[in-house]
Amino acid sequence: MSAPHIPILRQGRVHRSLDVQTVPKLGTDEAAAEISFACADMIKYDLHKMGQAREALKKFSCEELVAITKRAGEIFLHDDLPVGTEGAMQSPEEYVLALASTSGLPHALIRMNMKRLGGVFADIDLIFRGLSRGLDWAVLDKGYGEQSGAPVSFSATTNELAVILPSNSPAVNALWIPAIAMKVPVLLKPGREEPWTPWRIIQAFLKAGCPPEAFSLYPTQHDGSGAIIRRAGRVMLFGDDSTVKQYENDERIEVHGTGYSKFLIGEDEIENWEKYIDTLVESVSANSGRSCICTSTIVVPKYGDEIARAVARRLAEIKPLAQDDPEAKLSGFANPMFAEWINEAVEQGLRSDGARDATAEFREGERFQTRDGMNYLQPTLIRVDSFDEELAIREFLFPFASVVECPQAEMLGKIGFSLVVTAVTRDREWIEQLFDCPDIDRLNIGNVPTNRIKWDQPHEGNLFEFLYTRRSFQIAEIA
Amino acid sequence: MTADEAKAQLDERVREMMTWHFSEETGCPFWLDWKKSVGWDPREEVKSYDDIVKFPHFQDEWLRDEKNERFVPNAYKGRPFNVFETGGTTGLPKQRVGWEDYKHDYEQFSEQLSDEYFPKGGNWIMVGPTGPRRLRLAVEHLANFRGGSCYHVDLDPRWVKKLILRKELDQVERYQAHVMEQAVEIIKHRDISCIFTTPKLLASIGERISIAGHGIKGCFCGGTSMTPEYVRFLQEEVLEGKALFVPTYGNTLMGLAVSLPEELKENDYSVTYYAPQPRAVLRIVDPEKTEITKDYGEYGRVELTTLSHEFFMPRFLERDEAIRRKPHPKYAWDGVGDVRPFGALTSKVIEGVY
């Protein structure tokens, strides 16, 4: 089969661009896909018309859209769906192969991400209710109603949710899927190496009966992304700390940045540290360590060396394997330079006397590896002497974490912003302090891996509150 | 005209220009001094366009570092000159002196315009960089030459470049909106048939009003590179397929290279430009060995030679690259296609700011 052509979707309408770029299969010159690129001004034009897309979605009730989303989930997981413009169909297994060929992700990881996305589709009713705090969906259909006996009305803040998607993590598509049930059309800019997942999700929604106007897909260059970011009513994007800083005062923009997620063990549980090694290994290495919800710093009151050795020994078992090996858990880098840059950053931090690579004695070979034409970084656990070390609080796109000792009483003052914190403790007083800590976005108490999250609670912002604002209203009899 | 006839015409022009620019009576101090410094006489050595490679590349810094008077041909001595500027974000910009060239260039260009889409007697609007630019006078002359008047809305690209360098993109949008408001008001309330503007400004106007719906029939566009997809977008969506989109390639140093607007669609909106030979010549050269002309269909750097009585500029390397295209029945010399910033695939260039 020739490489499929992924077109631009303009409110569901297929547009084949004259600006076509090829995405190769990693490590080869063979084309995996041809992609139509949109010019920035076209996107600006189309943004003016997004009100029509929202009107198309508003013809459905939220309940109908929830049902469509649930159906779409089954279709996404199990059905053959169109891929490209030439009428070709793609099975779920072909989707796995296509995504693996351009992203470097192992098949097993892609299947895990599929399952995760399937869960978001399937739980859309719970997620919608959770994010809207139990709102009767009829309120959005009618425009007003009651919630817990109080009058409520919500108006949409935007005609579109624009998402600038990354190339390295298909699961992030979970963030926008609920927008459809909330009657807000999506405008997606796929990552260069990952058009597959947003495309397949859109096709699943269409087959499930969603109006095509609800979906716009614009592969585009930097200027196109810039146009989306500056013009769209609500924008979700992914970036580093500088990106977060750039948009921190723009209410239209929600930046999903580095998570600096942490795993804390309390003084009351530290003698039982061996019981938590499995959870620590999963927290650091799940999804090849690429998620902002993966643990990047482990904070313990004592036994730092022992815990570092135990976790490092287990992490070192995760090796670069063939992409189709069912045991493969480590992802290669689609951009080969990334692996070199990251490795250099780790080595730079290790030049300090206060940082040691605990994985070095267990792993085979160097951290940087090549296999099947791709660059890999083997999991790395760094034992650091204090939070002042360069590598104490760092996050990289591979399984990486530090272990630092710190008295429990000082932990919350030192951890800084943390998207997820798992705290293993039964200490009531400390638990209260943890709940009161403004630096923690998501909190798990007990033996919960940081990467296991529930979508019915806000994740880096509440999607419903991002897309809707509550308005005051009164309705009186007309004289 | 056949390709052979075009070549003969160009060679004749080269000989005429060598005589003009390197004779004491007509040449300018800059080139006469240059001739003395190199120890050879172009009148003897440069007998055809093929010999032009005997000259080094013209350095546009000379247009900033040398006094303008040194570029005044002795034949024009005593005649006040126009000063036209190019580029320049900070410091002294590059300047070119001129007298009648812009009129010749734009009168020649006028002959290429369709009377259906650029009606004689129709009024024009120019939205873009005016100020010290040749374009300001040239577009107005074009309008006047075709029997109409010209409205102007200014945009200062140097300020826009500074804003972009400072990453003040909101300011860029606000400034663009300020320019657009003025343009839209004029288009809405005056009888305008033709517009000159840049691609991005055209799209920006089209976001606000229906350009064709307000009586504009023809759009003469220049200023930045355009991908075929962008050209199609401008013709089919911004101009709604009703007004004619006429892309041009040019600058203060050359004049105007024209395209084949009526053939855009059949060429999948890939634009090929033809220089106003024999007054100016475009050559696609190997960037590493610029004396070598690239083969047809290959990308190379754009080299410009200007051969007018007012201004001689051999082998200036433009900051663009393009595909060398074959002559066309209408223009019997090489064309340059799909122009884009030089090194576009390997480096970041601030281009197309307005």
Per-residue pLDDT tens for A337-364?
889 999 999 999 999 999 999 999 999 9
pLDDT of residue B348: 40
Q: Given a cut of 50, is residue B183 above it in pLDDT?
A: yes
pLDDT of residue B176: 92
User: Are B237 and A42 in contact (CB < 8 Å)?
Assistant: yes
Predicted confidence (pLDDT) per residue in B141-157, tens digit: 999 999 999 999 999 98
Q: Lowest mean pLDDT of A19-28, A448-457, B203-212, B323-332, name the range.
A: A448-457
Please, what's the b/e burial string for B254-265 (b: 16 or more CB within 10 A of its CB; e: otherwise)? bbbbbbbbeebe
User: Are A230 and B232 in contact (CB < 8 Å)?
Assistant: no
State mean pLDDT over A308-329.
Answer: 96
Fold of A261-445: Aldehyde Dehydrogenase; Chain A, domain 2 (3.40.309)
User: Are B203 and A45 in contact (CB < 8 Å)?
Assistant: yes
DSSP B300: E
Residue B54: what are its φ and ψ, rounded to 5°? -70, -20
Segment A46-49 long-range contacts (CB within 8 Å, at least 24 positions apart): A46/A10, A46/A11, A46/A216, A47/A160, A47/A187, A47/A227, A47/A228, A47/A231, A47/A232, A48/B207, A49/A11
Domain boundaries, chain B: 3-91
pLDDT of residue B254: 87
Question: What chain B residue is nearest to A20 in terms of C-alpha separation?
Answer: B229
**Residue A90 Cα, gap to closest chain B Cα (Å):** 28
User: Are A230 and B203 in contact (CB < 8 Å)?
Assistant: no
Domain boundaries, chain A: 5-257+460-471, 261-445
End-to-end CA distance of chain B: 37
Predicted confidence (pLDDT) per residue in B221-247, tens digit: 986 788 999 999 999 999 999 999 999
Q: Given a cut of 80, is residue A375 above it in pLDDT?
A: yes
User: Mean pLDDT of all residues in chain A?
Assistant: 94
Q: Given a cut of 90, is residue A242 above it in pLDDT?
A: no
The helix or strand, by DSSP H or E, that contains position B228, with its residue range, turns out to be: helix B228-232
Report the alpha-carbon distance of residue A240 to residue A231 in Å, rounded.
21
Q: Evaluate whether A185 touches A54 at the Cβ level (below 8 Å).
A: yes
DSSP B233: I
Which pairing describes strands A355-357 and A380-384: parallel, antiparallel, or unpaired? Answer: antiparallel
Fold of A5-257+460-471: Aldehyde Dehydrogenase; Chain A, domain 1 (3.40.605)
Within 8 A of A39 by CB-CB distance, chain B residues are 227, 229-230, 233
Predicted confidence (pLDDT) per residue in B270-327, tens digit: 999 999 999 999 999 999 999 999 999 999 999 999 999 999 999 999 999 999 999 9
Q: Given a cut of 60, is residue B349 above it in pLDDT?
A: no
Q: Given a cut of 50, is residue A248 above it in pLDDT?
A: yes
Q: Evaluate whether A191 touches A199 at the Cβ level (below 8 Å).
A: no
Q: Given a cut of 50, is residue B347 above it in pLDDT?
A: no
User: Are A41 and B233 in contact (CB < 8 Å)?
Assistant: yes
Q: Given a cut of 90, is residue B99 above it in pLDDT?
A: yes
Residues of A in CB contact (< 8 Å) with B are 17-19, 37-39, 41-42, 44-45, 48, 226, 230
**Residue B240 Cα, gap to closest chain A Cα (Å):** 13
Report the alpha-carbon distance of residue B316 to residue B255 in Å, rounded.
14
DSSP string computed for B151-208: EEEE--HHHHHHHHHTT-HHHHHHHHHHHHHHHHHHHHHS---EEEE-HHHHHHHHHH
User: Are A39 and B170 in contact (CB < 8 Å)?
Assistant: no
pLDDT of residue B352: 41
Report the alpha-carbon distance of residue A211 to residue A214 in Å, rounded.
6
Q: Given a cut of 70, is residue A91 above it in pLDDT?
A: yes
Report the alpha-carbon distance of residue A188 to residue A202 in Å, rounded.
10
Predicted confidence (pLDDT) per residue in A258-280, tens digit: 899 999 999 999 999 999 999 99
Lookup result for tokens 């009428």: A87
Which pairing describes strands A380-384 and A400-405: parallel, antiparallel, or unpaired? Answer: parallel
User: Mean pLDDT of all residues in chain B?
Assistant: 93
For chains A and B, CB pairs below 8 A equal 37
When pLDDT is cut at 50, 70 and 90, the band that residue A479 belongs to is low
Burial class (CB in 10 A: 0-12, 13-18, 19+), B62: middle
SS3 state at B280? strand
Lookup result for tokens 């002795």: B74
When pLDDT is cut at 50, 70 and 90, the band that residue A477 belongs to is confident
pLDDT of residue B223: 67
DSSP string computed for A70-116: HHHHHHHHHS-EE-SSSS-EE-HHHHHHHHHHHH---HHHHHHHHHH
Q: Lowest mean pLDDT of A234-248, A285-299, A335-349, name the range.
A: A234-248
When pLDDT is cut at 50, 70 and 90, the band that residue A169 belongs to is confident
Q: Which residues are CB-neighbours of A413 under 8 A, at least 6 positions away?
A: none
When pLDDT is cut at 50, 70 and 90, the band that residue B354 belongs to is very low
State mean pLDDT over A373-393.
Answer: 96
State mean pLDDT over A157-178.
Answer: 93
When pLDDT is cut at 50, 70 and 90, the band that residue B89 belongs to is low
User: Are B227 and A19 in contact (CB < 8 Å)?
Assistant: yes
State mean pLDDT over A28-35.
Answer: 93
Q: Given a cut of 50, is residue A371 above it in pLDDT?
A: yes
Q: Given a cut of 60, is residue A420 above it in pLDDT?
A: yes
Please, what's the b/e burial string for A200-235 (b: 16 or more CB within 10 A of its CB; e: otherwise)? bbbbbbbbbebbbbbbbbbbbbeebbebbbbbbbbb
